[in-house]
Structure 1
Amino acid sequence: MKKNVWRVFSLILIIGLILSACAPNVEEVPTEEPSAENAGEPVQVQGEYTISNDFVFTYYVENAVALIDMHGFVIRDEEWELPVDSQVLGYMTYDAETLSGTFDLNLPALPEGEFNDVDNNGAENQGVQIFAVGYSPNLYGGPYSVGDDRSLGWPTYLASIKADTENDDEVIGGKLIVWSPDAEQSFPSSFGEDGLLFTADDPVASIESGYTLVDLDTEPFTFSKSPIAEMTLYEPDDVALKDFSGDSYTEAFDKMFEQISKEYAFNGIEGKQPDWDALYAELKPRVEQA
């Protein structure tokens, strides 16, 4: 009985070896991993920031950066509500000792921002999507800016764009991320004669499809397709701490008075705005005598 069992087992083993020998030899082809170097456009945004005034980080503990749609600035609507669909969050670090940090954000394959026709050619075109990267802490509820925690207008604090706080937060520099659906679109290549972005006098240049990093600090603007887009987040001048320690008393007074007279909360309100000229004339002699 044992001999018959052994014969059956041997026969099965031989058949198995024959079948395996007849099987086709499949050569494994290594899978090529996606490479940022082959992407031909930005796939990630990263950079650093430094602040002088840490009051924001005293109140916010859930910190992040976000890809922020700049449509509100294009149409100059400070009440434009940032849609949640276009918001993409990125990681952010903060070192309380050095008042600095880093950030990185992966760009989505297909962004969901608003399209903006900014080529000034007089014809209706699909346009491009325009984004900045900015600080996007979580104050209430979920991580996105929506509902009671919504964002309006365009970013000015710790953003990749520089805003003129003395002129309606007009964009005056920094960097933008632009996404074009095809190679048939154009984008401003300079601020134009009026010094304002996205106005009728802006000269334009063709922009390639996909993502492009636009540097607004060069003349003309620089368009880059580097896979890793390097950016800096800027602390606005009106938030940064003012250091008068190296000035004389009179110099410090003049700088402080200039700042206060511009930023006083009740300026423009009848009965609330002081007579700044009279106040200066009264106080300056006292400072000089001190």
Structure 2
Amino acid sequence: MRELDISLIGVPVDLGQSRRGVDMGPSAIRYAGAIERLKALGHHVTDEGNISVSPVHNLSCNEAGLKNLTEVTEATEELAATVSAIVKNKKFPLVLGGDHSIAIGTLAGLAEHYTNLGVIWYDAHADMNTSETSPSGNIHGMPLAVSMGLGHEQLVNVHNKGAKINPENVVIIGARSVDPGERQLIKEKGIKVFTMHEIDCYGMSAVIQQTLNYFASRQVDGVHLSLDLDGLDPLYTPGVGTPVPGGITYRESHLAMELLEDANVITSAEFVEVNPILDEYNKTADVAVGLMGSLFGEKLL
């Protein structure tokens, strides 16, 4: 097992959507023992604290209908700079959300250091809406599109101008709630997607192996894992803002993390959308920490 120098960053953002509470996600994950779990595995962990987020008392929309555009942009700009500095110092960035809009900042910071970054989007949703296709105006449903250079210029140009990732280097795992505009974009951009249908048909082991083979064929120079807890079935993760029934099981998710760790390919990760207000006894944060354990080398024997 690799002994990693991990820098952990909390991003208490709940402005990418309308449901409050997910800003407490980083605290819930820390409380569930994330740092202690990783240290027990032999990793060196530095808690870099939280990104500063401007308080918003009234949710606002811009002229394109995007909610809290200025505040989300500011938070993701700071996160991008922090992630970039961590990678520059040859440390492993581990980001705790917060809603999934924060991935705009994570990927922007990583893009400075990788020329052909692979991205695993472990999520019930594709998060590939733009202001033209979004039914809600929630930016947490847009980070993957934004990172591919599609969407509001203020978001697309976070940290550096333009696209941060190649659409052909993205693999979505666990999708089961995809909007019409996203469906069209997936086909246009050639995004590789493993829906729940493929997971049910072939099993998680085959899905991860195909993902690894795909990245190998693309000759990626790093792999980022962006894990939304709503990728799992809400039976296991009740504390998420947009639960979708029929999701990935607890055991399948641990297997996925174990296989990724065995392959030694993950170079950065983020765990997002833990909302303690909606949770049951911090159950969702406990699952997040358990998955971190498997991703960072925890074994049964």
TM-score range, shorter chain: under 0.3
**Greater helix share, structure number:** 2
Q: TM-score, normalised by structure 2?
A: 0.24
Q: TM-score, normalised by structure 1?
A: 0.25
Which structure has more relative contact order (CA 8 Å, sep 6+)? It is 2
